[in-house]
Amino acid sequence: MNLHYQIQGQGPTVVLIHGLFGSADNLGILARALKESCQIISVDLRNHGQSPHSTTFTYRDMAQDVIDVLSQLNISEFSVIGHSMGGKVAMAMTELMPSQILGLIVLDMAPVAYQVHRHENVFAGLQAVSNQHITSRKEAEQYLAEHVQEPGVRQFLLKSLTKTDDGFQWRFNVAGLIANYSTIMGWEPVPPFPGPTLFVKGQESEYIQTDHKDAITAQFPNAKAHMVANTGHWLHAEKPETVNRIILHFLQALKN
């Protein structure tokens, strides 16, 4: 699985991992802030962006994909930042190469299995677009809007719509994501990771709850937490300056 990736900046390596339905560009706000002092590697996970599609979609698979990129680049030490599903990929990496991860930052995700199906309307919208011969982004958004009410969510999804010789198509693997949704929402606990870890929660988001504390502590005993006020799940997009400051402070502390 040869992932598509981007490299920016120079300095200590930081890996950025996007969430479900995303791509490397989604964490561009973080990359622009960090590339002044770090080498940033932003990846497209399998079944997303410009990376290959696959029928297998476990967190261990996705973690190994990212590790393979780092191996190809001869990078032996790095910090990793993951948002949402990308946070779970980052956490899964700690089982495969704990001694090489200098620091772990998880944006609004807990190491637990979630029971609530949060994306039924999104999948319905994606399938509605896939079932039509789409000739413009405007036409795609019209079909998408029948299922996805929030304009911001539609615009986020449409970033992964690409023009081909046969009209417009989704870059991500819609059928594969639907087939593996239970795995995406699930979680297999990892051995305790002793390295510095930071969980950053959006105050208004439901992804990190008080009753997740035991699971976090068991798997990440040196974890610290930071809440960003008046933000939801997309905290880095809603309050980029605040989130960037939190991340830079954490990364700077690793050097001391």
Over residues 58-77, the pLDDT tens digits come to 999 999 999 999 999 999 99
The pTM of the full predicted model, rounded to 2 decimals, is 0.95
Kindly name the residue from 48, 83, 119, 233 that is annotated as catalytic. 233
Query: Of 21, 17, 10, 7, nearest to 66 (Cα)?
Result: 17
**pLDDT grade, residue 116 (50/70/90)?**
confident
In this structure, what is the dihedral angle of CA atoms 100, 105, 107, 109, given to the nearest 10 degrees? Answer: 60
| Under 8 Å between Cβ of 178 and 47 | no
| Domain spanning 5-114+186-255, CATH architecture | 3-Layer(aba) Sandwich (3.40)
Query: Which of the residues 84, 160, 205, 236 is marked catalytic?
Result: 84
Q: Are 13 and 31 in contact (CB under 8 A)?
A: no
- Tell me, what's the pLDDT at 121? 94
Share of the chain above pLDDT 90, in %: 93
Q: Which residues contact 141 (CB under 8 A, 6 or more apart)?
A: 154, 158
Q: Provide the token pair at 232.
A: 């939801």
d(CA 129, CA 169): 8
Yes or no: say if 11 and 41 are a contact pair by the CB < 8 Å rule: no
Compute the average pLDDT of residues 129-137. 92
Average pLDDT over residues 23-34: 92
pLDDT tens track for 184-235: 999 999 999 999 999 999 999 999 999 999 999 999 999 999 999 999 999 9
Residue-wise pLDDT for 73-102, tens only, equals 999 999 999 999 999 999 999 999 999 999
State how far the alpha carbon of 117 is from the alpha carbons of 21, 87, 113, 181, in Å: 15, 18, 11, 9
CATH architecture for residues 120-179: Orthogonal Bundle (1.10)
DSSP code of residue 87: H
Whether 79 is catalytic: no
Is 131 exposed, middle or buried (CB count within 10 Å of its CB: 0-12, 13-18, 19+)? exposed
Over residues 103-129, mean pLDDT: 95
| pLDDT value of residue 167 | 85
For the chain, give the percent of residues with pLDDT over 70: 100
Active site residue 117: no
Rounded Cα distance between 194 and 87, Å, is 17
Q: Helices 85-96 and 59-72, interaxial angle, to 10°?
A: 70
Residue 69: which H helix or E strand, with range?
helix 59-72
Q: Decide: 10 and 135 in contact? Cβ < 8 Å.
A: no
H helix or E strand, kind and range, residue 16: strand 13-17
Q: Is the pLDDT of residue 255 over 90?
A: no
Domain boundaries, the chain: 5-114+186-255, 120-179
Q: How many CB atoms lie within 10 A of CB 158?
A: 16
C-alpha distances in Å from residue 50, one per residue of 98, 122, 211, 218, 246:
28, 20, 37, 35, 30
Mean pLDDT of the chain: 95
Region 127-149: mean pLDDT is 93
The answer on pLDDT for 256 being more than 80 is: no
